[in-house]
Amino acid sequence: MIIENLTVRFGSFTAVENLTLEIPPGSVVGLVGESGSGKSTVAKAICGLVRYEGRMSGVDPKRVQLVFQDPYASLNPRMTVGASVEEGLSALPRGRRKDEVERLLSLVSLPPEFAGRYPRELSGGQRQRVAIARALGARPELLVADEITSALDVSVQGAVLNLIRGLQAELGLSMLFISHNLAVVRYVSDVVAVMHRGRLVEIGPAERVVGAPEHAYTRELLAAVPRLRH
Ligand SMILES: Nc1ncnc2c1ncn2[C@@H]1O[C@H](COP(=O)(O)OP(=O)(O)OP(=O)(O)O)[C@@H](O)[C@H]1O
Ligand SMILES: [Mg+2]
């Protein structure tokens, strides 16, 4: 997907200003920046949830799936895991949906029995896996992951990040991976883009941005983040 000159205004406030960013097919682009820098607003613009100026091309908006920070909010508490995942499979003939639910659960390393469970019976990390399985069921061209590990314990964060890396390798997904934590972004991303007050201040290969940041703000972010152990 190519995003060109994206600007999002809320009244007189400009949340995103003239942002240009390419997410090449099959690659993970990490978007990092402090709270309020405009990351979620970029995600919402990509998914058509806010009005924006600028151009998006290369991906059918219907083939974009968004996974949020809070899997409590994205899963219906009254639906079993299986029913939640199956909901997105309406394009498949009824008879093939059960197998597909199993396949999706196994992609996110959950045993098939989990299909019968309710969200409240799952840990935070397991719920986030279900939310990812559900999103994958729609066979997205682009997955937008907005702070999907932020609500999780550090020990579980690592597992979800490894899952993302595994899925990327296996499915060749394109992904915009958003986090305020540069260490987390670096771990899963090919390219890292740094946002500050609505603007992109630096972009480059993950190794380079983290190893030799060019912008003072990136260096500040690097100094501030706790190191991710894995
Ligand atoms: N619907 C809205 N109306 C007005 N202002 C908004 C709206 N949505 C977001 N903003 C403002 O836009 C700015 C960017 O918000 P955004 O949610 O994109 O930040 P973020 O980088 O995702 O932050 P965080 O890391 O805390 O999730 C913030 O100053 C926020 O208050
Ligand atoms: Mg956000």
Per-residue pLDDT tens, the chain, 230 aa: give them: 999 999 999 999 999 999 999 999 999 999 999 999 999 999 999 999 999 999 999 998 889 999 988 766 778 999 999 999 999 898 899 999 999 999 999 988 899 999 999 999 998 889 989 999 999 998 899 999 999 888 787 778 888 888 888 888 888 889 999 998 888 899 899 999 999 999 999 999 999 999 999 999 999 988 887 654 44
**For residue 145, is it within any domain?**
no
Going by CA atoms, what residue is nearest to atom 2 of ligand 1? 10
**For residue 154, is it within any domain?**
no
**For residue 112, is it within any domain?**
no
Token pair belonging to 102: 């199993």
Q: How far is 24 from 39, CA to CA, in rounded Å?
A: 19
In this predicted model, what pLDDT tens digit does every residue of 27-73 receive, in sequence order?
999 999 999 999 999 999 999 999 999 999 999 888 999 998 876 67
**For residue 37, is it within any domain?**
yes
Q: Give the number of the atom of ligand 1 that is nearest the alpha carbon of residue 34.
A: 25
Q: How far is 85 from 80, CA to CA, in rounded Å?
A: 9
Is the pTM of the predicted complex or chain greater than 0.95?
no
What is the number of domains present in the chain? 1
Token pair belonging to 70: 């809070």
Domain that holds residue 194: 1-59+174-230
Going by CA atoms, what residue is nearest to atom 1 of ligand 1? 10
**For residue 103, is it within any domain?**
no
Please, are residues 120 and 77 in contact by the beta-carbon 8 Å criterion? yes
**For residue 98, is it within any domain?**
no
How many alpha carbons lie under 13 Å from residue 175 in its C-beta half-sphere?
28
**For residue 66, is it within any domain?**
no
Looking at the DSSP bridge assignments, the partners of residue 142 are 64, 174
Q: Which ligand is nearest to the CA of 195?
A: 1
Token pair belonging to 9: 């205004």
Q: Give the number of the atom of ligand 1 that is nearest the alpha carbon of residue 16.
A: 14
Please, are residues 175 and 207 in contact by the beta-carbon 8 Å criterion? no
Task: Please work out, in degrees rounded to the nearest 5, the angle formed at the alpha carbon of residue 14 by the alpha carbons of 13 and 18.
Answer: 170
**For residue 111, is it within any domain?**
no
Tell me, what CATH number does 38's domain have? 3.40.50.300
Please, are residues 66 and 134 in contact by the beta-carbon 8 Å criterion? no
Of 37, 52, 69, 197, the one to substitute when testing ligand 1's pocket (max ligand atoms within 8 A of C-beta) is: 37
